[in-house]
């Protein structure tokens, strides 16, 4: 059972792999809102690992807030406030939590890929396409695609795999107009973020976004960007100066954790029934440094985190 904090004025309703959700204990001045708290938990291979990464929740939240600002003219977002005080974020989680407008979420993971890697590479090798989008022959791990593509997935239950699907399948599920809007918004967000990241020496290989429809507030009825956005948990960030197609790329995400878990050093059998082992202090520190490095490079700001 995932542990969560007791927060005055808020009632815990749900814990995911990384985030905890709360609803107001009494009517809130901003209406139908939720408190989204990013924990320091880290997941890999559909397991929540037993070892947290100190400060990770702060990096995720602060980076999301920065990106929401960069994208506000493209698509509205769900954040009401990230400040403390009355009606705001409780003191115990200031810095890693946001009060957000409740949305009617679309049951689709909206993925944009500008580079070929991960599950997209597996699909490409099997059939020359990703989510029904045909790609040129001869691409390798890390290849830049001729143009970014929309490769949606269905949302999985906790502990299950998201499943890549075609645009046609999304359209059948939510309607063609909404599917087309989600595709266009996803590609617009990716294009903006990819250009910003590239200017800072970072390649945004792919990213996963979530959208919902606002039920009330200033954007009532509109499609709104929700959840987190463009963090190392939902995106692949690579240092541009070491990009070399044909191999796995160095990254600013939790790939370091995945690599350790699948190494002989961990002693863990991914195909077995045993849960992953605790992470060594060195792996935790190096992972923390990668998350913080991504934040610093992208925002040109700094964060004080435990032990760094």
Per-residue model confidence as pLDDT tens digits over 137-164: 999 999 999 999 999 998 765 545 678 9
Average pLDDT on 34-59 reads: 94
Residue 1 confidence class, pLDDT cut points 50, 70, 90:
very low
Question: Class of the 104-254 domain?
Answer: alpha beta
Which of 18-27, 156-165, 227-236, 261-270 is predicted least confidently? 156-165
Q: Is the dihedral of CA 283, 289, 290, 292 positive or negative?
A: positive
- Checking if the pLDDT of 126 tops 60, the result is yes
| Residues of each domain in the chain carrying CATH 3.30.200.20 | 10-102
pLDDT of amino acid 255: 81
| Residues of each domain in the chain carrying CATH 3.30.470.20 | 104-254
pTM, full prediction: 0.93
Provide the token pair at 62.
């602060």
**Residue 202: how many CA atoms within 13 Å on its side-chain side?**
25
Question: Class of the 10-102 domain?
Answer: alpha beta
CB atoms within 10 A of CB 134: 11
Distance CA 216, CA 251 (A): 39
Determine phi and psi for 208, rounding to 5 degrees: -120, 130
pLDDT of amino acid 100: 97
- Measure CA 61 to chain center: 11
Average pLDDT on 106-110 reads: 96
């Amino acid at each position: 059972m995932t542990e969560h904090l007791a927060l005055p004025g808020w009632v815990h309703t749900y814990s995911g792999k990384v985030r905890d959700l709360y609803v107001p204990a009494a009517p809130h001045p901003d209406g139908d809102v939720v408190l989204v708290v990013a924990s320091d938990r880290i997941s890999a291979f559909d397991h929540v690992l037993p070892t947290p990464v100190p400060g990770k929740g702060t990096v995720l939240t602060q980076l999301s807030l920065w990106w929401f600002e960069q994208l506000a003219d493209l698509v509205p977002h769900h954040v009401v406030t990230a400040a403390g005080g009355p009606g705001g974020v409780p003191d115990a989680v200031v810095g890693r939590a946001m009060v957000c407008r409740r949305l009617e979420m679309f049951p689709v993971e909206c993925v944009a890929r500008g580079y070929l890697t991960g599950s997209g590479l597996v699909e490409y090798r099997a059939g020359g396409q990703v989510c029904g989008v045909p790609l040129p022959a001869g691409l390798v791990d890390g290849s830049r695609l001729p143009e970014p593509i929309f490769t949606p997935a269905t949302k999985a239950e906790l502990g299950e795999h998201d499943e890549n699907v075609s645009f046609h399948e999304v359209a059948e599920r939510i309607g063609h107009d909404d599917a087309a809007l989600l595709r266009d918004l996803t590609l617009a967000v990716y294009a903006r973020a990819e250009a910003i990241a590239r200017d800072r020496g970072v390649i945004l290989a792919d990213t996963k976004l979530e959208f919902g429809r606002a039920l009330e507030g200033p954007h009532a009825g509109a499609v709104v960007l929700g959840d987190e956005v463009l963090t190392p948990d939902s995106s692949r960030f690579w240092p541009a100066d070491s990009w070399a197609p044909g191999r796995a790329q160095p990254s600013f995400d939790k790939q370091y954790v995945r690599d350790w878990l699948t190494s002989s050093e961990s002693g863990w059998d991914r195909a077995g029934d045993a849960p992953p082992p605790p992470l060594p202090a060195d792996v935790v520190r190096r992972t923390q440094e990668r998350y913080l490095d991504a934040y610093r490079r992208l925002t040109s700001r700094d964060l004080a985190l435990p032990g760094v």
